[in-house]
Amino acid sequence: MELPRLWLNVSSVAMFCRNALGMFSRAKKDVLYDFLKREDIDWRKFNMGTAKEVYRQQGLGDSRVKAFVLDDSVKSRRGKKMEGVSSHYDHVTNRHVMGQQVLTLGLATDETFLPLDSQLYVSRTKAQALNRPYKDSRSVAARRYREATTQGKPEMGIRMMRRAKRSGVDADYLVADAWFGTKTMIRAAYELGCMCGVADEEGVDEVIGCGRRVERNSYWMRGRYMPKAVKRRWRKVRGMPWRAVAVEVELDVSEGRRKRPDWKPVQLLFVRGVNEPGEAEVGKKDWALFLCTDARLGMSKVLEVYALRWGIEVYFKEAKQHLGFLVECLQNPRS
């Protein structure tokens, strides 16, 4: 009964851990930072091992709905001596900022969200190099930093999912926002046996699927552009305050001009709100587009699965507020 009292005046778990460190050791914070700077510690293995144990103990493998969720988060940072800093687009402020970005893979179910893996991503725009080289270029930290500077986020995400599956953590779906709606990710969803769900929240001119941004003629059905094909076909989604139109098309997921076309059936789900009494009227351009690699999945199920993506947004907020996420752990990318 004494334990809850410890948290009454504590602003965050991270603050409590720093203050409580002296209860177990006389070591100061420099010892902790020296520990974080060690190049031989495999933090990814530790993270995945912990997640796997939680997955087993909580019986998440028996959950009704399981989805891999991919998303990134940016921490704005400046400083000439700050390592691992580069230019990133911040979705919150809608502008490019200098800082550090982390790509995170999690498992979302009806009951919980479990972080599985994460990777620092350093873009090629205004990237600041390391102040000094690694002591051992073959160390875990050196290898991970090379991944951060040479791999793109789709490649990182695919590798994360493969590691999760090898560790015994499985999912039926892959959910991400429009920034991951690339051919690479869609093809990976087929290869990994996941039904892919990605959404575009920005309207007609930025339809997803063949790349982050594609031309208007990328989706065709019997010679017609898709938004024209959905006119006067909207119908109410059962049990939800939306109307939708589901269209089955084939998508070429091959990459490169000389590659042979690789057509895959996908479902495009156009969704818009319903005008309710007393609420603002829904405009003609207020709609979203969802892509699902299972063309037979029902509209309600697609929206239910995509709603699991909200779990990673809550995780980022809680981790930043209470666990010091993107504060302590990223001050030194060597860790």
pLDDT, tens digit (0-9, with 9 covering 90-100), for 156-201: 999 999 999 999 999 989 998 877 877 888 888 888 877 777 665 4
Do residues 226 and 214 make contact, with C-beta atoms less than 8 angstroms apart? no
Residues 6+ apart with CB under 8 A from 119: 102, 103, 144, 147, 148, 156, 160
Between CA 234 and CA 244 the distance in angstroms is 5
Element housing 324 (H / E): none
pLDDT, tens digit (0-9, with 9 covering 90-100), for 104-134: 999 999 989 999 999 999 998 888 888 888 8
Question: Which has the closest alpha carbon to 199: 221, 173, 230, 222?
Answer: 173
Question: Which has the closest alpha carbon to 267: 242, 292, 289, 284?
Answer: 292
Given a cut of 50, is residue 242 above it in pLDDT?
yes
- End-to-end alpha carbon distance in the chain: 37
Give the CATH architecture of domain 37-322: Alpha-Beta Complex (3.90)
* Amino acid at residue number 178: A
Delimit the domains of the chain by residue range.
37-322
Give the global pTM: 0.79
Between CA 66 and CA 221 the distance in angstroms is 32
Between CA 217 and CA 249 the distance in angstroms is 13
Do residues 241 and 273 make contact, with C-beta atoms less than 8 angstroms apart? yes
